[in-house]
Structure 1
Amino acid sequence: MADGQTAPLTPAAIRALRLENPKARARDFAHMHGLTEAALVAAHVGHGTTAIDATPDRLFPLIRDLGDVMALTRNESCVHERRGVYSDYRSGPHAAMVLDPEIDLRIFPSHWKHAFAVMEPGEDGPRRSLQIFDAAGDAVHKVHLKPQSHADAFDALTAALGLSDQSQTLALSPRAATEGPKPNPARTDDLRREWDAMTDTHQFNTLTRRLKMNRLGAYQLAGSPRAERIDTGSVTQALHAAADGKIPLMIFVGNAGCIQIHGGPIEKVVPMGPWINVMDPRFNLHLRTDHIAEVWRVWKPTRTGDANSIEAFDKDGGLILQIFGYRKEKPPTAWNAFVKSLATLEGVSA
């Protein structure tokens, strides 16, 4: 071991430290002690925690049997929590989906590397959860059981998916750096022409890949009215406007392995320090507004009408969240009008 380096904490040492500080959030505790969150969870294998198969095709049919639960997907800046049932899982080798009216997920199986069934003591009895992590040990998705959930189905899932290797340590890969904006100015005219010809928002990712750009790089080149920078406070403004005006939204929050979507109205928006929170009975959102470095108003044409979004990015160019109007029942007229009313950073409205 090189001079100045300390030995990594053993699983027993991690458990002892956790007993001294049981109320800290797992993510915060892990950061405090220089651990990945996956390493913290793995240290408790055999102590209420079981390592299980992380393959989505094996997990999701059994997660459905848990009944009403809370789904949690997050990135460094935003946490998305949704109550519901995992009732409609659709497999795919590169992308899978859950399409329940409440639990709406896009799943990228290559990032689902380590999974655990966790049972830990709580004030009102055992707290049960499923926790999935990527190759670097960062959380991809979590499922938290509620009092109404089926504890017997949790036990059955744990038994069915338990791994033969119940190690308390993990072999983890270095965390991939966030890709910053990647424009390709030589293809600006192609970008604008193909953007204007889109008939579905899902065509955007294919378009940018073909033109060797990424999302933020394309926004920098697209020009008005396709993409315009707006004030970083616009996200908070949008949440308040939606709650006050009863404007239904689609709110997308994700990471490399999972995107979670809320579709419908929001009611209670609560600021708390740097956080802006949605605190509804079956949907919670927790957003660090001080992590927002830039926000874009984005317009995309579709065969069913304009899709207008507000999209927030962090200082490294990572996507924090996207907000669209909810389109399933009727055109999002009120949302579109609100988005178009926002001033650009140059002080000019669209």
Structure 2
Amino acid sequence: MTLPSPEDIRAARAEDPRPHTRDLAARLGIAEAEIMAALLGHGATRIDAHPDALIPRLTALGPLKALTRNESCVIEKIGIYDDYRPGPHAALVVNEAIDLRIFPSHWVHGFALEEETPQGLKRSLQIFDAAGDAVHKIHLRPDSDAGAWAPLVAARRLPDQDAALALAPRRPPEPARLQPDRRDALHEGWAALEDTHQFLRLCSKLKMNRLGAYRLAGAPFVRRLAPGAVETLLYRAAEADLPIMIFVGNMGCIEIHTGPVGRVGDMGPWITLYDHGLDLHLRMDHIAEIYAVVKNTARGPAHSVEFFDARGALIAQIFGVLRADAAAVAGWNALVADLPEAGLVEAAQ
């Protein structure tokens, strides 16, 4: 297969500018970052992608739209990128609106993009991993400080502005990895958890991954839920105005919403959440496995609903807010407990 040239890519984008960059990349059989590379000198500038070099400078831009996605879910939040906390393996942005977990080794290719649209000039910073897949995108808004844009791009501009882009092979999602003979050890370690962050260390110690552990554990730690449970959960949480935490991410970035979900809309295979500074789009037809999970923490049991696609990739996690008032925590726990188990639904059919 002959890959399109930068000229071909620009022509395809100009021919129909409406599709999302991700969709255009899929149609052309290329990585999304290759579209940005084709726009170098045509509105795009290659920049240093490392979060330590980039994120602290974003505060000067004022309110921005933070966008993180995977194959099945996209989350957008509006706020200011302040309170950045660097780290060699994991970095954070932690404030009421923008809450990110950043994994710097996956922030490989960066671009600043300016483009004229029917709605006016749009500016964004776009970060991609080694395979050219989007990790995180930052969009300026009408109330952003546009005067801080040019100094930021100039400061982070790389000497290499060539359209050639060296990409690594895409890593497929890891399928469920479990050790049936270690089920008792899994139960013992799970019961001893004091923080949700200890769970993945437990999985690693037992040579399992998250999905494998969920498939293996069973009661009282895990219940597999019936198809449609996520949609039911979101509608009921919205009706009850419950504060929840939604984690959406990829290998390089996890973006978190904490608060009510606002309004829920159903658009074909997509379900959308919009309000309270949140815009989330979820492909319901991509959900293959859903689990209700409980893990011990210092604040009490953390109940979550977590769901995966058919490849075994985690789509999103939804938790209650343990620091919320007791009524909200109890309401969330009761909502999760009321969701039907997959086996019960199958037995009734």
Q: Normalized against structure 1, the TM-score is what? A: 0.96
Separation in structure 2 between the aligned mates of residue 66 and residue 26 of structure 1, nearest angstrom = 24
SS for the counterpart of 2:159 is coil
Give the Å deviation of 1:344.
1.1
The total of aligned residue pairs comes to: 343
Which residue matches 2:309?
Answer: 314
The one-letter code matched in structure 1 to 2:324 is E
Structure 1 residue 19 corresponds to structure 2 residue 14: yes
Give the Å deviation of 1:303.
1.7
Which residue matches 1:216?
Answer: 211
Could you list the runs of 5+ residues in structure 1 that have no partner in the other structure?
Answer: none
Which residue matches 1:152?
Answer: 147
The one-letter code matched in structure 2 to 1:341 is D
Which residue matches 1:90?
Answer: 85
Which residue matches 1:233?
Answer: 228
Which residue matches 1:167?
Answer: 162
1:182-235 CA distance string (max 9 Å, x none): 001121111101101111111101110111100010011112120110012111
1:286-327 CA distance string (max 9 Å, x none): 000000001001011112111000011000110000000122
SS for the counterpart of 1:9 is coil
- Name whichever structure is richer in helix by fraction: 2
The one-letter code matched in structure 1 to 2:115 is E
Worse overlay, 11-20 or 93-102: 11-20
Give the Å deviation of 1:66.
1.3
Which residue matches 1:329?
Answer: 324
Which residue matches 1:268?
Answer: 263
Separation in structure 2 between the aligned mates of residue 265 and residue 283 of structure 1, nearest angstrom = 9
Q: 2:335 aligns with which of 332, 335, 338?
A: 338
SS for the counterpart of 2:143 is coil
What percent identity do the matched residue pairs reach?
Answer: 52
SS for the counterpart of 1:160 is helix
Structure 1 runs (4+) greater than 4 angstroms displaced: none
SS for the counterpart of 1:266 is coil
SS for the counterpart of 2:138 is strand
Q: Normalized against structure 2, the TM-score is what? A: 0.96
Separation in structure 1 between the aligned mates of residue 145 and residue 322 of structure 2, nearest angstrom = 33
The one-letter code matched in structure 2 to 1:129 is S
Q: 2:4 aligns with which of 9, 19, 34?
A: 9
The one-letter code matched in structure 2 to 1:333 is A
Separation in structure 2 between the aligned mates of residue 303 and residue 19 of structure 1, nearest angstrom = 54
Q: Is the 8 A contact 1:132 1:142 kept in 2?
A: yes
Give the Å deviation of 1:14.
0.9
- Counterpart mapping for 1:53-72 below 5 A: 53-72=48-67
Q: 2:197 aligns with which of 176, 196, 202?
A: 202
